[in-house]
Structure 1
Amino acid sequence: MVAILHINQILNITIRQNNQSQLFLSRIADIQEETLIIEFPLSLEKEWDPVIFHPGTKLKIDLIHQNSRFQFTSEINGKTEDKIPLLLLKRPSEADIEKIQLRQNFRVPANIDMQIVQDGENSTFYTIDVSAGGLSFYDKTCSFKKGDRVAGILELPFRTEKYEVSFLAKIVRVVAQNSNIKIKKTAIQFTDIEEKDRRKIIQFCFKRQLELKEKGISYPY
């Protein structure tokens, strides 16, 4: 068995069709000698075409294992059902799985609602960029300084719903903007966050990265 693949492993799946990529989320249900059985993928897009899950469809699959990102390609061999719908994929060999070299906690630009609580005061901000390790935002209140401890809630947009991530964090950087010294770019580092929530942020980052790639937008992150 390929060491990094295990039952309940979360998979980020990309399918490219008609010059467009669509992103899905799934989980490994079982691993057999030549077959990878996964739960029927959940779309991370607002609209998608279910007929793309037919035998022979090529898939690009990303996953996180022990804080590293891995990627491999596969294809759909068929469908089955065991209380829930399942897809049968060609199982990759160990040599087929590529480790992707990424800077730790890669960031993506994103404008997301965020609540921060400090000294009992609750304020709303909008992020500039987000990663699994922290985020940055513009602060017009000038109420934060490096080293401050804060609590917050980040609202990640997924399809038609928002997923709330609660966190504790510290302010690691406060930089005045050249054009307006009353607006400061503030960066925070998560100090306490549930692992399931961190994985959700990573999923959001994959989704956002794909959206930007489709639009031909590059960014220095």
Structure 2
Amino acid sequence: MLNIGDSLIFELKDDQASKLKCKAVDLKNQVLYTDYPVYEKNGKTAFLLNGTHLKASFVGNDQNAYLFHTEVLGRCKEKIPMLTFKMPEAHELIRIQRREYVRIETAIDVALHSASQRFQPFVTTTIDISAGGAAVNLPGKQSFEQNEEVTAWFSLPFQKGTIEYAKIKAKMVRVIKSDKKEMATLQFLDLTETDRKKLLQFCFDQQLLLKKKGAFSE
């Protein structure tokens, strides 16, 4: 489930606002070996005492996000300095949700360009987004057609303060008009693995934020 080289996010039980990140270096006899965790906000190395309890999360090969509770077991040094953590059995991992199907309601900036040059490029906001598509607001001054192909430039703001950008080919599978607004649902096409991971990470990041606010349920 967890592979060597996978990224992990740790949260201290008494300080959930501070997130730590590290990578899995080795895994044997239910002991997880990682490089030294650093704070996401400033990149500084975190000092963790033996016995410190944490909540850990990672993305598995099936692109699901998993949670587990762990504690610091100790330190060791081979090629690099490492920390050791208690690793639960596979059946004890908590699956959050299949993330490519998690649709997060959020308003982020997106620029749309017509593949056929049928309309002028414009900047708008999303209504929701997932790793497979998005719903976006449309300006009322232009006309749009269903199944029209576009290039979408997304700006993805993360909780830690960084912004990632994704350029994605998409198709307007539905154009919905009402008295108050016009919107389109986009289906992503030919998604690169890099952009797919960005979207998965963003949706996961937003999901955690909504969970903290009590605005997201499984």
**Are 1:10 and 2:7 an aligned pair?**
yes
Residue 156 (structure 1) aligns with: 156
Question: Which of the numbers 181, 190, 193 marks the counterpart of 2:191?
Answer: 193
How far is the alpha carbon of 1:97 from its aligned partner? 2.2
Which string of whole-angstrom CA distances, capped at 9 and with x for unpartnered residues, describes residues 71-106 of structure 1?
322222234567766432212222322444547520
Give RMSD over aligned pairs: 3.0
Residue 132 (structure 2) aligns with: 133
Instruction: Say how many residue pairs are matched.
Output: 212
Question: Which consecutive residues of structure 2, in runs of 5 or more, have no partner in the other structure?
Answer: none
CA distance in 2, matches of 1:177, 1:47: 46
CA distance in 2, matches of 1:127, 1:82: 48
Indicate if the aligned counterparts of 1:22 and 1:48 stay in contact, CA closer than 8 A.
no
Residue 107 (structure 2) aligns with: 111
The one-letter amino acid of 2:178's match is: Q
CA distance in 1, matches of 2:149, 2:66: 34
Shift of the 145–24 alpha-carbon distance from structure 1 to 2, 3 Å rule, reads farther
How far is the alpha carbon of 1:109 from its aligned partner? 1.4
How far is the alpha carbon of 1:53 from its aligned partner? 3.7
The one-letter amino acid of 2:165's match is: E
Shift of the 42–91 alpha-carbon distance from structure 1 to 2, 3 Å rule, reads same
How far is the alpha carbon of 1:24 from its aligned partner? 4.5
Indicate if the aligned counterparts of 1:107 and 1:131 stay in contact, CA closer than 8 A.
yes
TM-score (norm 1): 0.79
**Are 1:91 and 2:90 an aligned pair?**
no
How far is the alpha carbon of 1:163 from its aligned partner? 0.7
CA distance in 1, matches of 2:87, 2:33: 9
Identity of aligned pairs, percent?
A: 27
SS in 2 for 1:65: coil
Following superposition of structure 1 onto structure 2, how do residues 44-83 of structure 1 map, counting pairs within 5 Å?
46=41, 53-55=48-50, 56-79=52-75
Shift of the 124–70 alpha-carbon distance from structure 1 to 2, 3 Å rule, reads same
CA distance in 1, matches of 2:157, 2:110: 12
CA distance in 1, matches of 2:47, 2:174: 45
The one-letter amino acid of 1:155's match is: S
Structure with greater proportional strand content: 1
**Are 1:30 and 2:26 an aligned pair?**
yes
How far is the alpha carbon of 1:60 from its aligned partner? 3.4
Question: Which consecutive residues of structure 1, in runs of 5 or more, have no partner in the other structure?
Answer: none
How far is the alpha carbon of 1:48 from its aligned partner? 10
Indicate if the aligned counterparts of 2:37 and 2:46 stay in contact, CA closer than 8 A.
no
How far is the alpha carbon of 1:33 from its aligned partner? 2.3
CA distance in 1, matches of 2:173, 2:78: 48
Indicate if the aligned counterparts of 1:156 and 1:164 stay in contact, CA closer than 8 A.
yes
